[in-house]
Amino acid sequence: MHETDWITRYIAPLVTADGAAGLRDDVALLRTIGPTLATMDTLIECVHFLPDDPLDTIGQKLLRVNVSDIHAKGAEPLEALLSIAWPVDRDERAFELLMTGIGKDLQAFGISLIGGDLVQINGPLALTLTLTGRCIAKGPVRRDGGAPGDTLLINGEIGWGGLGLAAAKAGQDPETAARYRVPAISPIGAAKTVAELAASSLDVSDGLLIDAMRLADASGCGADIRLDHVPLAAPSDQVGAILKQCTSGDDYRILISARTDQPIPGFVAIGTLTETRGLALTLAGAGVNTPSTLGFEHKG
Amino acid sequence: MHETDWITRYIAPLVTADGAAGLRDDVALLRTIGPTLATMDTLIECVHFLPDDPLDTIGQKLLRVNVSDIHAKGAEPLEALLSIAWPVDRDERAFELLMTGIGKDLQAFGISLIGGDLVQINGPLALTLTLTGRCIAKGPVRRDGGAPGDTLLINGEIGWGGLGLAAAKAGQDPETAARYRVPAISPIGAAKTVAELAASSLDVSDGLLIDAMRLADASGCGADIRLDHVPLAAPSDQVGAILKQCTSGDDYRILISARTDQPIPGFVAIGTLTETRGLALTLAGAGVNTPSTLGFEHKG
């Protein structure tokens, strides 16, 4: 790897913001118009993506997991700092492909790359992105703004992450695998809805049930989830198939609570926040036992 | 590794800023009082530190390489986002030691930890820090503000990084090794001096000669360096010993150019920016050939 050459060839062309000084300095000047958020996510080969995943899709996924966090808080993504720890045995063509994917999604989401670091690693590819965002309202919509009686709503289908991972591992059904590799994330319109109408909000990254529990816990509530109202990647009336999709994660949909009975465009009501703590699941009015694993719990 | 438990036990206690929401959300609200900078540096085991380096010193080094970038731009460090890719085979005791070092330097430099990520890696320890800073003057002091006739000044001894690395590798002279593991960095007073008096500035991370060349290049100038004026870790009148220290890197001193003949407190004049591009070295008035390697060039 020739760090300076690669930065000049593949990274610098993606840099447009004045504050980045063309990457020819050690720091960037941030755009800070109003309340500014920051989030940071790391993706590691063999942990967050498969060694065979095409590098452009890995670059897009890195952008999307971070954009999803910003959108879910009712904010618009602004600027990114990118760290790449590049395996010593990978070649320049592979690096170019990674940067193609990153460049594509920087443009798709209107994000300026303003800085970062490029280093070698004698091990798996490790990518870290820090992404800033501008709040559409006065501040971020947090997890803890919910209250008993709030309606719980989700803005897209749940289960594609898990189905796509299975397809990618099996080397089958490239269209479904693509939904794991480059997850569809909520558009900026959803972020505006969050800013205007949500009392609490988060993005469903680890599984619908575990993230619903986290939102409820943060808000000091419990949650009733009507499983038959959850829009599923693979619609089913079988409890096992439904729960599998509701706990598989990597979906990057936005779960909100709202203090309204009116329909919210783009969102579907799937339950209610309750006084009683914990999770209560129903399917067509009948109680369903809560599974022991609610999602990906970050335990190794 | 139990990510959630470790965050609760070792990372959350270091978090004090309101905007971090106690790490119980996916984003942090940045403090942005006036022009705000951001820098990002990554340290990889076996590339930027030795596998045997004590983990608390690695944590301190991570903070220091970033703080040095902020100070060198005439700014005060404010808030940090921390990504840790933790090797699957390292234990909780080691993690605690890493966080002890990070906590120590967060406090020493008055930095608030506001977010980040903790993930597993089947490979070397990989650490990334994003650090924000508040400009003391109206904006950052860049590399490109120099002009012919400016005096070049440095604010501390050069060569400790290289001498310390050699000592650490040899397992000898722990005091010198400590200067590589936990580099002394310029105090906040130096950042104020930069903000007030420097025309251009950078931190010497890759070697005095290569970084002097970068500052001169960015400013469209050349640089005359009087080697006998450079404060050295191991003072010498031998060209070889002097050049070795001036090209070894990891020193984290601030190199500035200033449009004044007056002494600048804390800084020592070591040369001049010139019309003629390139580097000209002298020792006691006599020309010295420029070595083929000016410092660490990020080539693998």
Contact A77, A131 (CB under 8 A): yes
Instruction: Locate B253 and state its tokens.
Output: 């001193």
Say how far apart CA B25 and CA A39 lie, in whole Å.
10
Q: What is the mean pLDDT of residues B151-178?
A: 95
What are the C-alpha distances in Å from A212 to residues A149, A209, A294? 15, 5, 9
What average pLDDT does the structure give for chain A? Answer: 94
| Reported pTM | 0.94
Please indicate if any CB of chain B lies within 8 Å of the CB of A176: no
Cβ contacts of B190 within 8 Å, gap of 6 or more: B71, B155, B254, B266, B267
Please indicate if any CB of chain A lies within 8 Å of the CB of B51: no
What average pLDDT does the structure give for chain B? Answer: 94
Instruction: Locate A247 and state its tokens.
Output: 């706990």
Sign of the torsion formed by the C-alpha atoms of B171, B175, B178 and B183: negative
Banded model confidence at residue A273, pLDDT cuts 50, 70, 90: very high
Please indicate if any CB of chain A lies within 8 Å of the CB of B154: no
Instruction: Locate A294 and state its tokens.
Output: 């609610």
Among the ranges given (B39-53, B94-108, B284-298), the one the predictor scored with the smallest mean pLDDT: B284-298
Q: What is the mean pLDDT of residues A22-29?
A: 85
Instruction: Locate A56 and state its tokens.
Output: 């452009």
Q: Which of A2-16, A267-281, B286-300 has the highest mean pLDDT?
A: A267-281
Work out whether strand A112-121 and strand A75-87 pair parallel, antiparallel, or are unpaired. Answer: parallel
Q: What is the tens place of the pLDDT at every residue in B269-283?
A: 999 999 999 999 999
Cβ contacts of A171 within 8 Å, gap of 6 or more: none
Does residue A82 register a pLDDT over 60? yes
Nearest to A42 among B32, B69, B117 (CB): B117
Q: What is the tens place of the pLDDT at every residue in A203-247?
A: 998 999 999 999 999 999 999 999 999 999 999 999 999 999 999
**Residue A53 DSSP SS3:** coil
Does residue B299 register a pLDDT over 60? no
To 5 degrees, how large is the angle CA A24–CA A27–CA A29?
105
Say if the Cβ atoms of A44 and B119 lie within 8 Å.
Answer: yes
Q: Which residues of B95-125 are buried (b: 16+ CB within 10 A; e: fewer)?
A: bebbbbbbbebbeebebbbbbbbbbbbebbb
Please indicate if any CB of chain A lies within 8 Å of the CB of B204: no
- Tell me what ipTM this predicted complex has: 0.94
Does residue A299 register a pLDDT over 60? no
Query: In what helix (H) or strand (E) does residue B242 lie, and over which residues does it extend?
Result: helix B239-246
Cβ contacts (< 8 Å) between B42 and chain A: which residues? 83, 85, 117, 119, 128
Percent of all residues in chain A with a pLDDT value above 90, rounded to a whole number: 86
* Chain B contacts in chain A segment 91-110 (CB below 8 A): none
Q: What is the mean pLDDT of residues B7-14?
A: 91
What is the phi/psi pair of residue B46, to 5°? Answer: 75, -10
The reported pLDDT for the residue numbered B298 is: 57
Say if the Cβ atoms of A202 and B122 lie within 8 Å.
Answer: no
**Residue A11 DSSP SS3:** helix
How far out from the chain centre does Cα B204 lie?
7
Question: Strands across the sheet with B36-44, in order?
Answer: A28-29, B36-44, B126-135, B75-87, B112-121
Contact A255, A152 (CB under 8 A): yes
Q: What is the dihedral of CA B55, B61, B66, B71, to 10 degrees?
A: 140
CB atoms near residue B5 (< 10 Å): 12
